[in-house]
Amino acid sequence: MDSLKRKLESFLVFLLIERFKYFRHLRNKPFKMLDVGCGNRWPSETKKFFPHCEYHGLDKKIFSPTDEDFKVMNKFFNKDLEEDSLEDIPDKHYDIVIMTHVIEHIKKGLEVLDRICKKVKPGGYIYIEFPDLKSFNLPSMKGTLHFCDDETHVRCYIPQEIINILLDNNFKIIFSRTRRNKYRILLMPLLIIYRYIRGELNAGDFWDLTGFAYQILAQKKIKR
């Protein structure tokens, strides 16, 4: 029974969490991941569902960390993306680089992305997520539904300029689109009731329905 429960939990997580679901094929395989902006308990959550992953976190300051987060990280790079060199992070090293809701917090986002692209190995992937332009037309809500709800958002980026950086770094764009997780939308009524009862309702529960976020997945080409 416990085994069935764990399998069901894993299945739901892979469907509902964007940064996980595109890499389900690596569930039981070893790979190297660089998580740019590794707060919100992502180290422990990632290692839970990718137990063979070599997880490297990169952040200026980890938001809401736990002891488990520091325990499971294989390496942590304490970096200010706009000020610090990334030379000690190996180039062409990572199978997956995750950069979700980071670029909008930095003014030199395109320069930073260009440097981060160098860290992906040929054949590896980069997943980027950031607020969509339409977020400027959404109402304000706790947890950020309107771009300006978060005072640490300093710059709005459009997909075309991010895609051009990826193309310059020899990536193939797999998709570029507004994030609309159909499973989260279908389960939204139950999720909202659950969150409301627990007093945890926030804007993130409405991101997929409103189209708050934009996502890009790209794979670095293998030169022949």
Q: In this structure, what CATH number is given to the domain that contains residue 114?
A: 3.40.50.150
- Is pLDDT above 90 for 1? no
C-alpha span between 182 and 171 (Å, rounded): 27
- Provide the percentage of residues in the chain whose pLDDT is more than 70: 92
C-alpha span between 76 and 164 (Å, rounded): 29
Query: 185: domain range?
Result: 2-220
Tally of domains in the chain: 1
The 10s digit of each residue's pLDDT in 77-91 is 999 999 999 999 999
- Backbone phi and psi for residue 99, each to the nearest 5 degrees, phi listed first: -140, 80
Model pTM above 0.75: yes
Helix or strand or coil: residue 100?
Answer: strand
C-alpha span between 118 and 90 (Å, rounded): 9
Beta bridge partners of 192: none
The 10s digit of each residue's pLDDT in 3-61 is 655 555 666 666 778 899 899 889 889 999 999 998 778 999 899 889 999 999 999 87
